[in-house]
A and B are shown apart, each in its own frame.
Chain A
C-alpha cells in the first residue's frame, strides 16, 4: 500500500478542523442582530451562577417556579472560583450557547462581556428600573452609558479593628498610622489588607489610589496613573510595608490568610470583606470575638474609596426567552428578594432603602458601615480589557510594595501596560 492507512484519520481530523473553525468562531459583527432576537420569547430559562454558599438561590427559584409553572427556571451552578466562573461563561458565550439565559457576572466582567456583544442591553423593550438602587452598583453594571446587567448584590471593603486596643476608630489614613504605636506596644502587626499577587491586590491598590483622590482610569477610560494623587495613594502602601506597619507576611495574604491573622489577634487593623464578621464572632478559635470593631475604610481626608464588589445578573443575547428573563431579573431585584439575600445569605442588597430597615440592621450589624462604604465606593477600572488591566496593576503594585521598584517606575509601567492592552491588536 502506498499511502499509510493511518494518515486517513489524521486527514479527516484536519478537514474537520478547518470546516468547523470556519463555521464556528464568534463574530462581534453579528451582535446587533442577536440582540434583536427573542425579545418576546417566553418559556423555561436557565440561571447560571457560581457556588450558592448560603443556599439563597434554590429557595428563590422554587418560589419563582411555583408562581410561573410555564416559565420554570433551572439553576446551573458553577464552581466557587471567580476565574473559573469567568472562563466558563466565556466558553459558553463564544459557543453561542442558547442554554445560558441569565448569568450572574462579577462586577468587573460587565464591560468585557458587553463589549464582546454577549450581554443584552437593558434598554427600550428590555428596560429595567434602577432608580432605587445605589448609584455605584448601577455604574458598575453599565457600559458606555447603557445598562447591561441588573445589579444583584453588592460588597464593599470594611475596616476591622480591635475595640479593646483602640476605643475610637480612625477617620483618616494618617490617623490610623499614628495609632500603630499601640500595635508595637502589644507586639502585633498594625494593618494588613490583601497583597498577594491576585485580584485582591488590584482591589487594595485601586482602593489606595482612589482613596487618595487619584484614579486608575479617567472618565474616557484612559489610564491616568501619572498623577501626584495616584503616587500618594500607592505610597501609603509601599511606605507602610517598608517601615513594618504592614507586616512582611502580608505579602502572602489573600482574604483567608488575613482573616486568620486578625482572628488570632495578630493585627490591629484589617481591611476585608463583610464575610469576616460572621466568622470572627462565631468561630471557636477566634480570639477577637468580643472586641470586634468595624468602620468604613479610611482615605486621605475622610472615608476611603472602597472597591466595589458584588454581582449583577445579565441576560445573554443568545437567549430565546428574553421576556421571561427580563421578568426574572425584575424578580431578583425586587425588595422581597433583596431582603431575602440579606437575611438568608448575608449578601448586601443593592436597594438603598433596605440599609435603613430595622430588621436587617439587627441581623447584620455592619449594614450602616457597609452603606457608607458602598456609597463612597469606586468601581475597579471599568474597561473591556479588564483581565489585562488587572494583570498590569498586580504585577507592578506587587513589585512596588516589595520594594523591588520605585513607585514612579511602577505607576509609569502600569500606565504603559494599560495603554498597550487597550490599543487593541
Chain B
C-alpha cells in the first residue's frame, strides 16, 4: 500500500514539476513576445505620434500625442499641389500584387526544375540566378533608363513591373528551391502511381506541404516590391509612380523645409492597412493552400 502511495506521490510531484516548467516556459514566451512587440512597434509608435502632430510642433519630443490634428493626413492626400498619393497607393498595390503573382509562378516553375529535375548546367543556372543579386542596383539604373527611353516604356506599368520581378526572382527561386528540396517527393510518386498526373500530384500533395514556404515567399516578394525606390524613381511618371516615390516627392510649404509630419502620416497610411491585410489573409491563404491536402 505504502509503496503504491509513494509511487502516486512521486508521480504527482513529477506532474506538478512538469506543469510548473510549462508555466514558466509560457511566462517566458509571453515576456519574449512582449519584448518583440515593443522592439518592433516602439519606433513605429513614434512615427504615428508624429503623424498626428501639428506641423508647427514637428520637433516636439513629448511621448504622448500632443497638438493632435488630422491635417497631415489631409496634406498627404491633397492633390492641389500635384501630389498623387492616393493614385500612388493604388499603383503600389497593383505593381506589388502583379510582381508577387508572377514571381511566385516563375519561382515555383524554376524551383521545381532545380529541386526535382536533373540536368546539366544546374549549378550554372543557380549561379546565374544568384549572380543577378550581386550587381549594385544603383548602377543598373542609367542603362535601364536609356533602354526604356529608347523603347518608349518610361511611365508605363511594365517598366516598373518587369524590373521588380527580376529583382525579386532570385530570392523567390532560391527560397522555393530550398524548401522543395525538403519535400517528401515519395508522396508525389505515390500519388502518380495512384493515377494522378504530374501536375495534379504536385498540386494536391506538394503544394499544401509547401504552404508556409509559398506564403512566406509571397510576403517577401510583395514587400520587396513595395519598398523598391531606385528603379521606380527613374522609370515612372506622375501617373504610375508608387508610394515610395510619391513620399519622396512630398514637400514642405517652404523650400528647404522637410515635411516630417506629412512623411510620417504617409508612412502610417502605407503600413497599417498592409499589416491588417496580412493578418486577415494569413489564415485564409494558408488554409486555402492546405485545403484538400492528402495526408
Contacts and interface: CB of A to CB of B under 8 A. Distances in A.
Q: Do chains A and B touch in the complex (CB under 8 A)?
A: yes
Interface of A: 4, 6, 10, 17, 20-21, 24, 51-55, 58, 75, 77, 79-81, 84, 88, 91-92, 94-95, 97, 255-256, 260, 264, 273, 275, 278-279, 282-286, 346-347
Interface in B2-61: 54-60
A54 B81 CA distance: 8
In this complex, which of B82, B146, B233, B234 has the most chain A Cβ atoms within 10 angstroms of its Cβ?
B146
B185 interface: no
B118 interface: no
A53 B253 contact: yes
B274 interface: no
19 contacts: A20-B146, A24-B146, A52-B81, A53-B252, A54-B254, A79-B245, A81-B248, A84-B233, A92-B149, A95-B149, A97-B149, A256-B257, A275-B254, A275-B256, A279-B257, A284-B54, A284-B57, A285-B57, A347-B255
A282 B55 CA distance: 11
In this complex, which of A51, A55, A260, A279 has the most chain B Cβ atoms within 10 angstroms of its Cβ?
A51
Contacts of B67: 284
A80 B249 contact: yes
Contacts of B125: 6
B131 to A, nearest CB: 11
A255 B248 contact: no
In this complex, which of B58, B59, B147, B255 has the most chain A Cβ atoms within 10 angstroms of its Cβ?
B255
Contacts of A347: 255
Interface of B: 54-60, 67, 80-82, 120-121, 124-125, 128, 141-143, 145-147, 149-150, 233-234, 238, 245, 248-258
A88 B59 contact: no
Contacts of A52: 81-82
In this complex, which of B81, B121, B128 has the most chain A Cβ atoms within 10 angstroms of its Cβ?
B81
Nearest to B53: A285
B120 A255 contact: no
Given A54-B253, A97-B149, A256-B257, A283 B248 contact: no
B147 A20 contact: yes
A92 B149 CA distance: 9
A6 B24 CA distance: 56
A77 B253 contact: no
Contact of B249 (A17, A75, A79, A91): A79
A205 to B, nearest CB: 18
A58 B150 CA distance: 30
B254 A84 contact: no
Given A4-B121, A97-B149, A256 B258 contact: yes
A346 B254 contact: yes
B82 A84 contact: no
B162 to A, nearest CB: 13
Given A4-B120, A97-B149, A285 B248 contact: no
A258 to B, nearest CB: 11
Contacts of A286: 56
A77 B241 CA distance: 12
Nearest to A285: B57
Given A4-B121, A53-B254, A58-B82, A285 B59 contact: yes
A275 B255 contact: yes
B251 A53 contact: yes
Contacts of B58: 285
Nearest to B82: A77
A91 B233 contact: no
B120 A51 contact: no
A91 B258 contact: no
